[in-house]
Amino acid sequence: MSSSFKVPVVTQTNFAGLKLVNRGKVRDIYDFGDALLIVASDRLSAYDVIMGEGIPFKGKVLTQISDYWFEQMKDVIPNHLISTIVHDFPSECKPYWGDLEQRSMYVKKTKPLAIECVVRGYLSGSGWKEYKERQSVCGIKLPQGLVESDKLPEPIFTPATKEDVGKHDENIDFARAASIVGKNIADRVRDVSIEVYSRAAAIAEQKGIIIADTKMEFGIDDKGDLILIDELLTPDSSRFWPKDKYEPGKGQESFDKQFVRDYLDSIGFNRKPPAPRLPEDVIFKTSSLYLEALKRLSGKTLL
């Protein structure tokens, strides 16, 4: 843990006596046999490059928002969450309760599917880029004349490959996704992903947030059932736009890490390591955007 800022920032965890099995772009994962402890750090990845500075409260926001959405969607599809309450965690975690509080999920172990399940309700990011070139996104033909940030006629499922840290996920069409995970599972995750997105988008819009797109992950549990895993509908895995400032035809303000991407673009970052140093005003503005997203969606505050 480092304290470069006025609030503690957790950029990495190393818990003696716990079995660290993976350190991703944001999360540190510890193995407990048939379950995992997922700890959301304050690391931030932009353009698949991990920034050197953490974003205060970011890991807690991701965990609390995922917890909120898992509860909202549990009648659509089961999820991997066992508990986010540290007192429910295995006894070996007790010395680290302070570090784990609000930023950790104790979850069922699953076999993750080898694709990212992306749903887009608006035309933005790589989808907008592809549309300008081909008038399609991941092989799905779209109407002529759409502009950046336009709402699509209906949400579309646009899967991607799942790449290692430092590599870019690749947008793929449905046929390729089906060849990776099987046609039956691909059909199921497409339908569930669109249902989850559509419900979430309706809930968020009532709270002043447009969910432009989102990325979900699924796994197969020990019973052979498909369940939601990882995080769900967070500012890291989604584009959140303020509804009252939405204006098609350009990029939108957002409650997510787009603020950092915009800064990196402004300084001509080449999207390769090493990451440039983030100014304090960018760090704290990003933190405030994440906190605002949590407050609007769930009513929770961390301060």
pLDDT tens digits along 283-301: 999 999 999 999 999 999 9
pLDDT over threshold 90, residue 63 = yes
Residue matched to tokens 């990325």: 215
What are the angstrom distances between the C-alpha of 232 and each of 14, 19, 61, 67, 72? 25, 25, 12, 8, 11
What pLDDT shows up at residue 163?
74
Cβ-in-10-Å burial (0-12, 13-18, 19+) of 269 comes to: middle
Please, what are the domains in the chain? 19-110 (3.30.200.20), 112-256+283-298 (3.30.470.20)
Share of the chain above pLDDT 90, in %: 91
Question: Taking 80 as the threshold, does the pLDDT of residue 275 lie above it?
Answer: yes
The token duo for 265 is 């673009």
Q: Which amino acid is at 91?
A: S
- Of 50, 44, 42, 15, nearest to 31 by C-alpha is 15
Average pLDDT taken over every residue of the chain = 94
| Residue closest to 201 by CA, chosen among 243, 159, 147 | 243
Q: How many residues does the chain have?
A: 303
Predicted pLDDT at 303: 64
User: Would you say residue 95 has pLDDT above 90?
Assistant: yes
* Joined tokens for residue 293: 């997203």
The pLDDT of 12-30, averaged and rounded, is 96
Give residue 2's pLDDT.
42
pLDDT at 166 over 50: yes
- d(C-alpha 184, C-alpha 226), whole Å: 11
Query: For residue 179, what are the contacts with CB-CB under 8 A and spacing of at least 6?
Result: none
Q: Would the pLDDT of 247 be above 70? A: yes
Residue 83 exposure: Cα atoms within 13 Å on the Cβ side: 8
- pLDDT score of 4 more than 80: no
pLDDT in tens, 123-156: 999 999 999 999 999 999 999 999 999 999 999 9
Is 50 exceeded by the pLDDT of residue 3?
no
Mean pLDDT of 102-119: 97
Six token digits for residue 82: 């066992």
Residues 221-225 have a mean pLDDT of 95
Rounded CA-CA distance 143/10 in Å is 45
CA atoms within 13 A on the CB side of 45: 17
Mean pLDDT of all residues in 65-71 = 98
Q: What average pLDDT does range 187-194 have in this prediction?
A: 98
pLDDT band at 1, cuts 50/70/90? very low
Q: Alpha helix locations (H) across 135-226?
A: 174-181, 183-206
Find where tokens 């304090």 sit.
Answer: 280
Confidence at residue 158, expressed as pLDDT on a 0 to 100 scale: 97
Residue pair 106/113 in contact (Cβ under 8 Å)? The answer is: no
The tally of CA atoms less than 13 A away on the side-chain side of residue 100 is: 26
Q: Are 212 and 122 in contact (CB under 8 A)?
A: yes
